[in-house]
A = this chain, B = another copy of it.
Amino acid sequence: MSSGGHHTTEPDRLWSVDEHLEDVLTTVRPLDPIELQLLDAQGCVLVEDVMVPLSLPPFDNSSMDGYAVRVGDVSGASEEFPAALEVVGDVAAGAADLIHVGPGQAARIMTGAPLPPGAETVVPVEWTDGGLGEGPVSGMRARSLSPEGATGQVRVYRPAEARAHVRAKGSDVKAGDLALETGTVLGPPQIALLAAIGRGTVRVRPRPRVVVLSTGSELVQPDEQLRNGQIYDSNSFALTAAARDAGAIAYRVGAVADDADVLRSTIEDQLVRADLMVTTGGVSVGAYDVVKEALSHVGDEDVPGGGVEFRKLAMQPGKPQGFGTIGREHIPLLALPGNPVSSYVSFELFVRPAIRTLMGLQDVHRPTARATLAAEKALSSPKGRRQFLRGTYADGEVTPVGGSGSHLIAALAQADALIVVPEDVESVAPGDEVEVVLLG
């Protein structure tokens, strides 16, 4: 483990964005699966092949409100010559004990109710007189108001083929089928299917718990009074929101002063609820950059394999970065730079993919697109650095907003894309094609 600055073994080695990202993504492992209640598993990745334990529908049932009858009893029925059948009772949805439908008989049946024994088909209520004897009706009267509807006689005005308006047992899924395979992300329709086959809980990777803390003695909570030399803490708010947006359960610790002991004990305190820790600030070459200083003594020092490494990346913004694992549980920690734009861009590039890797998602990166640069003048970019500028993207064009300064929060709040200028490009002219990261 290195401690950065002039103590590092390779002080001048620049890591590429891709090397750093690879280090993060090969270190971070998907969280162990747990069994969660269905609605708690929303947005999570399934970690089992879910088999269908019972066929859906579990029994033949009616797809209409109508009458369950025998085919022969209604063949040839017409408005002029209706079939008159004896109504032997109701079959409501959920009915367990079913009446038998014999020749010349009909059972009034509701949508979803089991096809009763003896019945071969269903005629919709609109093809009947509903038992009222006054021609076709548009529906049934409520059972509670007209209990006599379950008795008497019904006239049927149209024939029905065998099993018309009947949803066959197993026509949706069959027992033993694969309902959902491991790796499926559980959205509302997948939750519908799991509930429908009777699964109240499922085995998924949980949402990672991400602890966000900012560092800096200059930081003050919003709504408090600023004194000379102070600014408001925005990073801990922005990154907590961004972590949630990525799918995490995020805890904002807030700002910690530039004191290595306080920072160390805060991090040790928070470790218990962290699957991932994110800090901002204190990672550069200054004498008060305490994140570096603190992170060589966090957690259980007797356990090998831990340690956070501080490095310089060939990118702008976001040159200074720390990454490693801390404590007995080897919790991954990303130490981001403190400038607001630097920390946000670093989050998008490294922390968001780490969170999504912890979730077990396959697709951990933001979508990208090719876009034509719509700008009044050329963009310049430092040689050897991958630059990420803020822009707005629409219809294949991207327009830069604000400058390259890593303190320009107002412009960031207008942007919906990052414009990527590769390491070997020093200037991008209006009309040139560039890659953009869509911030969605």
Binds B, one of A78-86, A219-227, A325-333, A373-381: A219-227
Partner pick for A189 among B219, B228, B339, B413, CB 8 A cutoff:
B413
Q: Is A233 an interface residue, CB under 8 A from the partner?
A: yes
CA distance A234 to B197 in the complex (A): 9
Q: Tell me if B188 and A230 are in contact (CB < 8 A).
A: no
**Contact assessment for A285 and B140 in the assembled complex, using a CB-CB cutoff below 8 Å:** yes
- CB distance A90 to B287 under 8 Å? yes
Q: Is A383 located at the chain interface by the 8 A CB criterion? A: no
Residues of chain B contacted by A284 (CB below 8 angstroms)? 65, 111, 139
Interface pair A56/B410, CB less than 8 Å apart: yes
- The residue in chain B whose Cβ has the minimal distance to the Cβ of A184 is B413
Q: Which residues in chain A, 226-249, are within 8 Å of chain B measured between CB atoms?
A: 226-235, 237-242, 244-245
Instruction: Tell me, yes or no, whether A426 is within 8 Å of chain B by CB.
Output: no
In the complex, chain B residues whose CB is within 8 Å of the CB of A293: 142, 144-145
Complex CA gap A54/B172 in Å reads 62
Binary B-proximity of A26-46 (CB < 8 A = 1, otherwise 0) = 000000000000110010000
A420 at the interface (CB under 8 A from B): no
- When distances are taken between beta carbons in the complex, the residues of chain B under 8 Å from A208 are none
Which of A151-159, A198-206, A297-305 lies on the face that meets chain B? A198-206
Number of interface residues of A (CB under 8 A): 121
A177's nearest neighbour on chain B, judged by CB, is B410
| A287:B108 contact, CB within 8 angstroms | yes
A149 to chain B, nearest CB (A): 6
Which of B195, B234, B289 interacts with A195 by CB under 8 Å?
B234
Which of A5-13, A16-24, A266-274, A429-437 touches B?
A5-13
Most chain B CB within 10 A, of A228, A286, A411, is at A286
A344-B410 contact in complex given A96-B227, A108-B287, A287-B149, C-beta closer than 8 Å: no
- The stretch among A69-77, A355-363, A401-409 that forms the contact with chain B is A401-409
Task: Among A96, A143, A199, find the residue whose CB has the most chain B CB atoms closer than 10 A.
Answer: A143
- Contact for A229 among B95, B143, B258, CB less than 8 A: B95
How many whole Å from A356's CB to the nearest CB in chain B? Answer: 15
Is A265 in contact with chain B by the CB < 8 A criterion?
A: no
A139 to B320, CA, bound (A): 12
For A198, what are the chain B residues with a Cβ–Cβ distance below 8 Å?
222-224, 226, 232
Name A172-207 residues within 8 Å CB distance of B: 172-173, 177, 179-180, 187-201
Q: Which of B110, B230, B233, B287 contacts A141 (CB 8 A)?
A: B287
- Whether B180 and A413, one on each chain, are in contact in the complex, defined by CB atoms closer than 8 angstroms, is yes
A260 within 8 A of B: yes
Find the B residue at minimum CB distance from A179: B410
Residue from B65, B226, B237 within 8 A of A286 (CB atoms):
B65
Q: Which among B4, B142, B190, B410 is the interface contact of A172 at CB below 8 angstroms?
A: B410
CA distance A229 to B59 in the complex (A): 7
Cα separation A244 to B95 with both chains bound (whole Å):
33
CB neighbours (8 Å) of A179 from chain B are 410, 413
A353 within 8 A of B: no
CB distance B338 to A289 under 8 Å?
A: no
Choice from B145, B149, B241, B288 contacting A188 with Cβ under 8 Å? B241
Q: State the CA gap A233–B90 with chains docked (Å).
A: 22
User: In the complex the two chains form, is B228's CB within 8 Å of A114's CB?
Assistant: yes
Whether A286 lies near B110 (C-beta < 8 A) is yes
Q: Name 17 A/B residue pairs within 8 A (Cβ), A-sorted.
A: A11-B138, A39-B252, A90-B288, A92-B258, A92-B287, A92-B288, A94-B217, A94-B258, A139-B286, A140-B287, A142-B288, A142-B290, A143-B288, A187-B245, A195-B233, A196-B231, A197-B232
For the A-B complex with A39-B240, A192-B237 known, give 13 more contacts whose Cβ atoms are closer than 8 Å: A92-B217, A95-B218, A126-B285, A140-B287, A142-B289, A177-B410, A188-B238, A193-B234, A193-B409, A198-B222, A198-B224, A198-B226, A198-B232
